[in-house]
Amino acid sequence: MKYDFDEVIERRNTNSVKYDLTSEYFGTDELIPMWVADMDFRTPDFIMKAIRKRAEHDILGYSIRPDSFYQAIIDWYKKKPANIPFKIRAAHTIEAFPRDSTYHQFIEAVSNYYCIEPIQLIKRIRHFITKKNRPHSIIQEVTSNRAQPHTIQLTEEQQAITEFILPFITKPEYVPTLLHGVTGSGKTEVYKKIMQK
């Protein structure tokens, strides 16, 4: 498949978090939405083909993640180009889990339902509990950040990626570059660091 990274695809009024919630969060939709890690690139054909094939089954019930799901990720990391500085790292808990077997079962059941890792679910729950009145807090945070620029501290991997991409940004010719990473991997920090340059 030949990828067209210059293609503009209209996503407003499609229940897109990135576009349709911009006005709610920031008070205006006259913004370039860069506040969420959501690319505006067309989904590759082979992925859409697999989705359509699955959708042909008339029952769309609860599903599991088979071993082949994890094996596909493992195989990709084994075959990935050597110049991509991503590594598989074990997730670390934020704090010790409560000594309650029911709590563990609940977290596991909910994380399986939403197809995310338990540690990511806990982080999201903590975020929503501690960030009340989210739209107002975000507006205040954006306003304060304009007055006091935030110093971005990159990890070694993020720094390596930044140094790899920067030459393409500073050159006078356009070179499409795709930054791949799961949610929470730190892509946005790399974007912000590059914009500062």
DSSP reduced 3-state for 175: coil
Residue 123 in tokens: 């982080």
Q: Confirm whether 191 is domain-assigned.
A: no
Same domain assignment for residues 51 and 98: no
Q: Confirm whether 71 is domain-assigned.
A: no
Residue ranges making up the domain that contains 13? 1-57
Same domain assignment for residues 2 and 52: yes
Torsion of CA 122, 123, 124, 128, to 10 degrees: 100
Q: Confirm whether 161 is domain-assigned.
A: no
Q: Is 110 exposed, middle or buried (0-12, 13-18, 19+ CB in 10 A)?
A: middle
Say how far apart CA 127 and CA 170 lie, in whole Å.
Answer: 36
Q: Indicate the range of 9-23, 39-53, 131-145, 154-168 predicted with least confidence.
A: 131-145
Q: Confirm whether 68 is domain-assigned.
A: no
Q: Is 84 exposed, middle or buried (0-12, 13-18, 19+ CB in 10 A)?
A: middle
Q: What is the pLDDT of residue 132?
A: 55
Q: What is the pLDDT of residue 184?
A: 75
Q: How many domains does the chain have?
A: 2
Question: Higher-confidence residue: 31 or 82?
Answer: 31
Say how far apart CA 157 and CA 181 lie, in whole Å.
Answer: 12
pLDDT, tens digit, 9 for 90 and up, residues 4-32:
888 888 998 999 988 888 888 888 888 88
What lies within 8 Å, CB to CB, of 189 at 6+ separation is: 152, 154, 158
Q: Confirm whether 109 is domain-assigned.
A: yes
What lies within 8 Å, CB to CB, of 137 at 6+ separation is: 131
Q: Confirm whether 189 is domain-assigned.
A: no
Q: Confirm whether 74 is domain-assigned.
A: no
Say how far apart CA 37 and CA 186 lie, in whole Å.
Answer: 9
Beta carbons within 10 angstroms of residue 17's beta carbon: 12
- Return the CATH number at 28: 3.90.1150.10
Please state the separation of Cα 108 from the chain's center in Å. Answer: 21
pLDDT, tens digit, 9 for 90 and up, residues 148-172:
555 778 888 888 888 888 887 777 6
**What is the DSSP code string of 102-164?**
HHHHHHHHHHHHTTS-HHHHHHHHHHHHH--SHHHHHHHHHHHHHHSPPPP---HHHHHHHHH
Q: Confirm whether 164 is domain-assigned.
A: no
